[in-house]
Each structure stands twice: as structure tokens, then as C-alpha cells.
Structure 1
Amino acid sequence: MRKEHLLGFGAAIAIVFFVYAALASVMPAETEITDTVYQSAPFEWLSKGNYNGTISYAEILEHGDTGLGTFDKLDGEMILIDGFAYRVANDGTVHAVTGEMTTPFAEITYFNPDLVVKIDHPMNYSEIKDYISEILPSDATISTIRLDGLFSETLTRSVPAQDYPYRPLEEVISDEQTTFPNSNVKGTAIGFYHPEYMTGVNAEGFHLHFISEDRNYGGHLLDLTMESGTIAIDSEDSYTMMNPWAKDE
């Protein structure tokens, strides 16, 4: 893989790997880190149009039971909930993920919430994000977010498989995303909050995917109104990212 792919976010990645390596060097070999976010590649790597799968879901799912991602050639949206992974296709259908499927980008963890709060009045997506920002144990660390409940309105999206040469992610979303509105649906939104300093390594702020309780509806979450339910937050202690270029060389 050519070195120019590393420019723009190489420094951020170097910092992350340096910190993680330093922590690993002082930890006993038998120590198990449970609050760790595992990410298969930098988000900027994906956003620039690198859509070929670099890792199988069989390998991905060894590192967590909760998370999100996409698929080889950007073919759909992935949501991992309670150890089960699903693919939301561009036509809105939902399918179980198999181990041989590959991904250019996925982010997962084992979900062990540090904070759970009840919601007993309607809140839109902006209000939900503002509220979570206020109650985050720390806005300087990655947090895993899970919303469970009744949603009076949801809007999700997915995108189709792409043909090479690949266009940047923003262009694909603008030109080819399919959106799926729904109402009065019980389900779960799962994703992550990323601090500002992670820009390039991941998308700053909130990134959530949604799946209905009956597993027949979902996708990348664009909007919602939550009527009632719970917000659960897991503040993560560490972060690990694989090197996608090593598999391409």
C-alpha cells in the first residue's frame, strides 16, 4: 500500500499506537482488558474511499459483543447487538452476518455499562445527544452508547455495494444512500461517542446504528424521537486498532 494513504491521519494513529504500546509494556501478560474498543481501520481510511474488506467478521467478533461497521465494497450497514451481528442492505432488508464476510471498517467492544438512566418523556435526536453529553462520565474518552426503548420516529440509511474506482464516502452517501423512515418502533440504537482529538482516527461526536426489536428494520441512524426507554453508557479504558495495510502488502 502506498505511503500517501498514511498522510493526513498518520500522526494521530501514531499517537494512539504509542499510548497503547506504552500501556501494554507495563501490564502483566495475564491481565485482561474488558473495557477496550477494537477498531479495524481508521475512519479516514474509509472516508477516502478504501472499501475493500481487510478483515473477516469471524475475526472481528472475537473482540466484542456490541458495535457497528460496514461490509466489503461498502455493501450495507452492520450493527452488533448482544453478540449477534446484522447487515442492513440498501433495500432495507436485514440479514444475519456470517463469519466469512469481510469489512473495511468496524468498531466493537464488550458492553459493560457504567451508567443507565431512564427516559420517560419524548426526546429528539439532538436532545438525546445533548443529554448524553451532559451525563458522560468523561468527554475525553471513548464511550459506548446504547438506547433501548420505544421510538415514535426513526430515520435510518444504507448504501449499495460500490464499484472500483471507489469514490469518497461523502459522495457515495450524497448520491446513493437510501433512507428508511419508520414510526412507533421498539428497538435499539448502538454506537459510540468519540472525543474531538480522535478526528481522522474516527468520526468526532456520535455515531449510532439502529435495529428494531423484531430485527426487520435498521441502518445507520440519521434521526429519531425516543418516547421512553433507557440510555446506557460504557466509558472505555483503552483502544486498539489493527493495521489494514499489513494485510494489503
Structure 2
Amino acid sequence: MRNVMWFGDLEGKIATDSLSSNTAYGLGPIEYLKGEILLFEGQTFESKVIDSLQHKVEQTASSRAPFFVYSTASDLREINIPKEVFTLKSTENLIDSLYKDYEHPLLIRIDGMIDAITVHSVSLAEGSKVSSPDQAHQGLTKYDYENVSGSLIGFFSRKHKAVFTHHDSFFHGHFISDDRDILGHVDAIDFNSNKVSFSVSK
């Protein structure tokens, strides 16, 4: 992520068709920051901005990313979490507390009804040069939704800030709706734990 944001290294380094097992999950941006990628149960989905009100989600055979975090042999197991409403930050804090003695990255999957969510998709103009996060995020478009059923796939790590999580977070997640109409990087979320299942893979 650092090389993309600060040094403009936008070319794809990894293709998702090399990761296509049914236990594979992963996420990152499309090369040249043309959208978002989610590898979900070995299938590749892309999100691309249409305009300020809508984006397009497509399943594709493969996509290339300049950076990509993934797990190809996931062993997701559902865990019990407190009965309360969670935000993105409180979800991160929960994982941090439950796995305080675990030092390796974790794959997180949350399935169910999401009360509110904000996602974004990057959409850098053709030929743009990048040497800062502000430049990398030119064209980034956010979308807000309520009462959406779907899945959040995320990766948690205390040791990979600016590698596959942002500099101010241990968690990086993408969301896809069950109807495959919504996909994007998760900026904000609210969900009631009574309405979801919460699974973790070490």
C-alpha cells in the first residue's frame, strides 16, 4: 500500500486467478486504482464507479492489483461475540481484545443484515500520477446504504499498517451484498450482533 500511495507504483503485481480455491479470500484495489477487488470463496468481483450515485459490480475471471491481502487456505470458524451494536472501530477493538496474544494476521468474515454501511471505490483518472494519498484518492466515491444483507471480508493485523491496512487502523475490509449490487472498501458500518454471524480464520 505504501508504494502505491507515496511512490505511484500502480501496476498490478498479483492476479486473482492464481488464488482461485474455494477457501480463498482477498481484497485490494484494481491496478491503476480503477476500482475495488474482492476475492470471495475463490471468485473474483470488481467494483467500478459509474457516478456519484451508483457503481457497477461484476464477477470476472481474474483481476490484477498493485497490492493485495489474501488467504488461500482459510479455516473460518464462527465465534460468539457480545450482544450489542458494533461499528467499524468497535469491531476492530473486539478482535484486538479477543486475540491479544495472537501476533499473526487474521481473516474475518461477517455475514448477515447490516443496519448501515458506507463503502467507497477508487476511480483514478487515466494517466494520473500519484505521489501522495490525496492524489491516490482523487476520484474516490463513497456510497451509503441501510438494511443491506451481505458479507464483510476483512483482514486484521497489528504489524501491517500501511502494508495492507491503513496507517491508522489494524483492519481493512471490503463488503459485498448478497444480491451482488454493492461492493466496496468499508469506511463505516453499524450492525447488531444478533443479526449476523462472525467468523475468524487464523
TM-score after normalising by structure 1 = 0.69
Matches of 1:46 and 1:61, distance apart in 2 = 24
Gap change, CA 1:234 and 1:137, over 3 Å in 2: farther
Which of 38, 42, 45 pairs up with 2:3? 45
Residue matched to 2:183 = 218
CA distances 1:43-95 after superposition (whole Å, capped 9, x unpaired) = 22222221112333322436961111121211111111122111011232101
Q: Can you give the 5+ residue segments of structure 2 that lack an aligned partner in the other structure?
A: none
SS of structure 2 residue aligned to 1:160: coil
Gap change, CA 1:135 and 1:83, over 3 Å in 2: same
Gap change, CA 1:200 and 1:153, over 3 Å in 2: closer
Equivalent pair of 2:78/2:199 in contact (CA under 8 Å): yes
Which of 93, 100, 105 pairs up with 2:56? 93
TM-score after normalising by structure 2 = 0.83
Report which of the two structures shows the higher radius of gyration computed on alpha carbons.
1
Between structures 1 and 2, the one with greater helix share: 1
Structure 1 position 107 matched with structure 2 position 69: yes
Residue matched to 2:171 = 206
- How does 1:131-170 map onto structure 2 within 5 Å? 131-136=94-99, 138-168=101-131, 170=133
Q: 1:210 offset after TM fit, Å?
A: 0.5
Matches of 1:211 and 1:169, distance apart in 2 = 28
Residue matched to 2:14 = 55
Gap change, CA 1:63 and 1:115, over 3 Å in 2: closer
Residue matched to 1:182 = 145
Q: What is the aligned length?
A: 191
CA distances 1:134-184 after superposition (whole Å, capped 9, x unpaired) = 112644211111111111100000011443352146114553210010000
Between structures 1 and 2, the one with greater strand share: 2
Equivalent pair of 2:152/2:176 in contact (CA under 8 Å): yes
Matches of 2:22 and 2:13, distance apart in 1 = 16
RMSD: 2.3
Q: Can you give the 5+ residue segments of structure 1 that lack an aligned partner in the other structure?
A: 1-42, 236-249
Structure 1 position 171 matched with structure 2 position 134: yes
Percentage identity across paired residues of the two chains: 20
Residue matched to 1:230 = 197
Gap change, CA 1:78 and 1:138, over 3 Å in 2: farther
Moved over 4 A (4+): none
Equivalent pair of 1:64/1:108 in contact (CA under 8 Å): no
Equivalent pair of 2:69/2:164 in contact (CA under 8 Å): no
Matches of 1:164 and 1:72, distance apart in 2 = 12
Matches of 1:150 and 1:121, distance apart in 2 = 14
